[in-house]
Structure 1
Amino acid sequence: MNRYFLYLIILNMMINVIIFVPKILIQYRYEGAVSAVLIAIPIGFTLTALYCKAIAKFPEKGLPEIFENTKYRLFKIIHFGSIQAFTFIAGLITLVGFIDILSRFIDPEMPKIFILIIYLVGIILIIQMPTERVMYFLEIVLFLNTPLIFFIIFKALTSNSLSWDSMFEVGTHLFELPNLKALAAATYVFSGYTTLMIFNRLIKGKLKIWNFIAVVFLGLFNLFTTFFIPIGFHGSDGANELLYPWISTADSLRLVYSPIERVIFLFLMFYMSITLVSISVHWHVALELLKGTFKDKNSKIKKWIVLSVFILCSLAGGMYSNTVLLNEFSVYWLQIRFYFEVTIIVIFFLWARRKKA
């Protein structure tokens, strides 16, 4: 298996546990979320396979290198610009959402702007590093945090407070027609492969079939735990009343013999670094696409203009957004992202097939 590929997949799956995917799935638990989750698995696998097969035709190259000598410069600018916007928004939603979580559950008295500035300093430093170093940073974070996150999930699955009856009750709505909003949220769990547009520079050789089998099982496990465990702890109706179902679920767990008894503090501590690296990966992709679009003597100036836009948008989002507005925006953004992602991948797959031929 290629570990770099799996790192990107696992990172995206882990970050979606705490932000908006659980809330959306639980909201439509009686209206097609269960069938949407099941359908999302083959859709996510298919999109992953198509994109990986297409980009594998250009080994150790990202999109900037693939389109370096294209004659259609306007098409390149539009193509790269649209992807930059979506990857930036993906990181921005994660950033603003997690800042709201920290402010709500850790220190409500501290202004959000202070926490946001601390995160922005780290993110801006990381995204300017070479792609290889960003991957090393991701590897270290996952190596330290993933076993502990899996331990917390294990504690949740073996807890006496987990009601399997509530989970089975929601499961009885399997034959409801799939809900589009739930489907868009569920397929986003698999979207870590899209960062290969830059991180393919580090992928040596073709991806083996075992990588894609791992994606299926990881996606199935992630969607099951993300969707059903909060329902098992809070009930099929109670879980829908929570703004952040998994944060409240972590707060329901206790480690009796641990120096820190309340799991929520450990859970948020682990996710601080995971959130930092997830945002950095998305914004690094956006920044590298920008650098690949404009290769001229003013590229550094343009880079800092874009970084300034990143910072200003983040500050505006942190100061003027609220939880309800962010949730509503995320629902619509996930649907637009789903259509955009499918379109881009199909076009790129057909183009790569024709180009190689």
Structure 2
Amino acid sequence: MNRYFLYLVVLNMLTNVIIFVPRFLIRYRFDGMLISIVIAIVAGMALMYADTVIYAKFPGQGLPDIIQNRLNKPLRIVILVTFAFFWFIAGLLTLLGYIDILHRFINPELPKVLLIAIFLLILCFVVQFPTIKVMYLLEIILIINVPFIVFIFIKAVTSDYLSWDSIFEAGNHLYNMPNLNAVAVASYIFSGYANIIIFNRLFKEKIKKINFVLIFGISLLTLFTSIMVPIGMHGIDSVDEFMYPWIIMVDSIRLPYSPIERALFIFLMLYVNISLISVAVHWHVAFELVKGTFSANNRVKKDRLVLALFFVFSLLSVIRIDYMHPGKISMYWLVARLLFEALAVFGFFLFLRRRKA
């Protein structure tokens, strides 16, 4: 079961390679990007380890189960709804980001509303699954897709168009002062650990230390390649001109012996699966948290009402996305998310201390 924890973290790392991390971090390539990445790795690993140690005290239980008989009902509802809101927004931002990518690079004539409606029908079906079935689906998708994604990463790193001079130039700014926004963005690749809030129901034993060693190594590789490869391909000065630097970079890769020569289409199709299961995991957590506030009466109707809210709010968001400045909203949310995660871990630690007392 320990491998399930690794899946949750790796999923978040893969998803944010094209949506959040390179797009925002590259803005700070001259203003403390590298030192911010180092701080983000330390902070992310520390929060992850602390959270897993705390939840190990409650094997086989999610947050709704843990606080069910330990907090009064109004406080319990406030906590669960607040957590559910953050998880829903995390999934929604990922979904909106990928809808924008598909609209720009695959079919600009297809209305975004129709595109998101198709995805929402799939998501509203998947998020109702039992937690173990969601994890099985995640495992299958990762096993099928990750080898191809790794292959494309290797093709990018070994490309003749990769300029190591630009990469070394970025490395010269290692000692610049760190930036809070950059730390928040870089630390987001670790946020998959927070899904343990529900998926702890699958963990009957402590997370083994080998998982943290693997995550540390994968995070180093993911962060530095997701930033340095676009810088090496586009140049350190011009890389900031692209909204999705990884997408443009992959479009320069050719696979002459493949049925599809342009790697971009393969890359985007792989990430359709990765992004959809990422949103499904986030919304499954939000769905289970909201369910924790319900009584047993009329459970089916209440579940359908929650799914209807997910559906309607997502449709309204994609309709108004051009007026909402999604880039600014995403950046504000990433900073708020880091503070919220730290506060959640610290608050749960105090809760554990009070329980012992």
When normalised by structure 1's length, the TM-score is: 0.97
Distance 1:28 1:299 in 2: 48
Q: 1:356 to 1:215 in 2, by over 3 A?
A: farther
Q: Could you list the runs of 5+ residues in structure 2 that have no partner in the other structure? A: none
1:335 partner letter = V
The equivalent residue for 2:350 is: 350
RMSD: 1.4
- Identify the range of structure 1 (149-158 vs 67-76) with the bigger mean alpha-carbon deviation: 67-76
Contact 1:55 1:352 in 2 (8 A): no
Contact 2:68 2:76 in 1 (8 A): no
SS in 1 for 2:68: coil
Where do 1:1-357 residues align within 5 Å? 2-322=2-322, 325-356=325-356
Instruction: Give a deviation string over 1:221-276, Cα, whole Å, max 9, x none.
Output: 11011111111110112110001111111111111211111110000010001111
- Identify the range of structure 1 (162-171 vs 293-302) with the bigger mean alpha-carbon deviation: 293-302
Distance 1:317 1:98 in 2: 14
Distance 2:127 2:209 in 1: 31
2:108 partner letter = P
Distance 2:249 2:353 in 1: 46
2:109 partner letter = E
Q: 1:56 to 1:314 in 2, by over 3 A?
A: same
Q: Could you list the runs of 5+ residues in structure 1 that have no partner in the other structure? A: none
Deviation at 1:74, TM superposition (A): 1.9
SS in 2 for 1:148: helix
Deviation at 1:298, TM superposition (A): 3.4
2:281 partner letter = V
Instruction: Give a deviation string over 1:15-65, Cα, whole Å, max 9, x none.
Output: 000112211100111111111001111101000000000000000111111
Distance 1:108 1:24 in 2: 24
Contact 1:32 1:179 in 2 (8 A): yes
Instruction: Give a deviation string over 1:305-353, Cα, whole Å, max 9, x none.
Output: 2212211111111122139811111011101111111101111123224
2:325 partner letter = L
Contact 2:87 2:283 in 1 (8 A): yes
Distance 1:96 1:323 in 2: 13
Distance 1:195 1:356 in 2: 25
Distance 1:102 1:349 in 2: 42
Instruction: Give a deviation string over 1:146-189, Cα, whole Å, max 9, x none.
Output: 11111111111111111111111111111111111111000111
2:186 partner letter = A
Distance 2:178 2:250 in 1: 29
Distance 2:353 2:174 in 1: 38
When normalised by structure 2's length, the TM-score is: 0.97
SS in 2 for 1:322: helix
2:355 partner letter = K
Contact 1:57 1:356 in 2 (8 A): no
1:246 partner letter = W
Deviation at 1:81, TM superposition (A): 1.1
Q: 1:353 to 1:212 in 2, by over 3 A?
A: farther
2:241 partner letter = E
Contact 1:20 1:327 in 2 (8 A): no
Contact 1:8 1:192 in 2 (8 A): yes
How many residue pairs match? The answer is: 357
Deviation at 1:355, TM superposition (A): 2.2
Instruction: Give a deviation string over 1:278-308, Cα, whole Å, max 9, x none.
Output: 0000000000011112123133333222212
Contact 2:32 2:178 in 1 (8 A): yes
Contact 1:54 1:353 in 2 (8 A): no
